[in-house]
């Protein structure tokens, strides 16, 4: 009986820890200057840690259907295209610490909306939430 009562606390505790870590990361990200090395390091470090955790967790076997293959092909092409655009735009910037209007990255395009503290914090929360949702599926 005690085991049954203790089980629901574990997912709740895990969720609370994830939310707290997300809030700390979002606050840290919102405190960094846009396009600075500290912001870049925070993004890269967070991405690497979450991807490692996602790959270690594994996934369940999904039945392979023609619809799934088409969906994976379409989303993979979109992801490759968007990633190639980001890398090309980032590398073509005259200075890697300043945004370029000639070769805008997604961050450059969203910067005017996310330049203020509270919106920047919300932007980081959304980025972290969407990223976690994507890797936990």
**Mean pLDDT over residues 78-83, rounded?**
92
Tell whether the model's pLDDT for residue 9 goes beyond 90.
no
How far apart, in whole angstroms, are the C-alpha atoms of residue 27 and residue 31?
6
* pTM, full prediction: 0.62
The rounded mean pLDDT for the chain is 82
Query: Looking at residue 88, what is its pLDDT?
Result: 87
**Mean pLDDT over residues 67-95, rounded?**
89
Query: Looking at residue 8, what is its pLDDT?
Result: 58
């Amino acid at each position: 009986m005690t085991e049954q009562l203790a089980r629901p606390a574990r997912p709740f505790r895990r969720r609370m820890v994830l939310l707290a870590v997300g809030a700390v990361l979002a606050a840290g990200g919102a405190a960094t200057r846009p396009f600075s090395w500290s912001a870049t390091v925070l993004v890269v470090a967070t991405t690497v840690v979450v991807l490692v955790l996602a790959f270690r967790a594994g996934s369940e076997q999904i039945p392979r259907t023609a619809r799934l293959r088409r969906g994976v092909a379409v989303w993979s092409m979109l992801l490759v295209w968007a990633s190639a655009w980001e890398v090309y735009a980032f590398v073509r910037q005259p200075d890697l610490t300043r945004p370029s209007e000639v070769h805008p990255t997604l961050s450059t395009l969203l910067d005017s909306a996310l330049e203020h503290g509270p919106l920047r914090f919300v932007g980081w929360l959304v980025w972290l939430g969407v990223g976690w949702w994507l890797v936990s599926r």
